[in-house]
């Protein structure tokens, strides 16, 4: 009886630990498959202080605009002036990311060039096209 009681307690402790780890992983946004960029996305837009040379090019595709396309803004905010536009399903090459005003809960914006103008697009409407990883814009300014 004493041995079976100890095993039952041990199993309960293991279950509680497993549920706690799962809840923390879920809260931190860990996921098995890549998907749309979201706040906390670890594989697509990392927070890092590494130099730009260690990152692959930031290839993304515009998606989720219901055919309306995506405005390119002068700064990472929905109230900034429009400096360009990208059609639904077109590609965008991001050079870095920066926090800005949230769009559907996602406050990350990617900076890149569109039709000769440099601007920001809301990461909420971008889908990763492979091993796209870009540094923060602050890292680019520091690294040069």
Q: Can you give the residue ranges of every domain in the chain?
A: 1-30, 52-143
Q: Which pLDDT score is estimated for 111?
A: 94
pLDDT of 141 over the 90 cut: no
Longest dimension (CA), the chain: 77
Alpha-carbon span 110 to 76, nearest angstrom = 8
H helices, E strands: number in the chain: 2, 7
Tell me the CATH number for domain 52-143: 2.30.30.40
- The answer to whether the CB of 5 falls within 8 A of the CB of 11 is no
The strand pair at 58-62 and 126-128 is best described as antiparallel
Q: Which pLDDT score is estimated for 38?
A: 46
In tens, the pLDDT along 4-49 reads 567 778 888 888 888 888 777 776 665 443 344 444 443 344 333 3
What is the token pair recorded at 48? 């890092």
């Amino acid at each position: 009886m004493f041995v079976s009681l100890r095993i039952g307690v041990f199993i309960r402790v293991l279950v509680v630990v497993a549920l706690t780890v799962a809840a923390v992983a879920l809260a931190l946004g860990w996921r098995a498959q890549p998907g749309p960029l979201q706040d906390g996305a670890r594989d697509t837009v990392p927070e890092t202080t590494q130099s730009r040379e260690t990152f692959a090019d930031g290839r993304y595709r515009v998606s989720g605009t219901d055919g309306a396309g995506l405005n390119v803004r002068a700064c990472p905010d929905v109230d900034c002036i429009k400096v360009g536009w990208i059609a639904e399903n077109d590609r965008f090459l991001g050079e870095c990311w920066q926090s800005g005003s949230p769009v559907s809960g996602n406050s990350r914006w990617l900076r890149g060039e569109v039709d000769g103008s440099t601007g920001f697009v809301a990461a909420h409407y971008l889908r990763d096209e492979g091993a796209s990883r870009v540094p923060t814009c602050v890292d680019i300014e520091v690294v040069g």
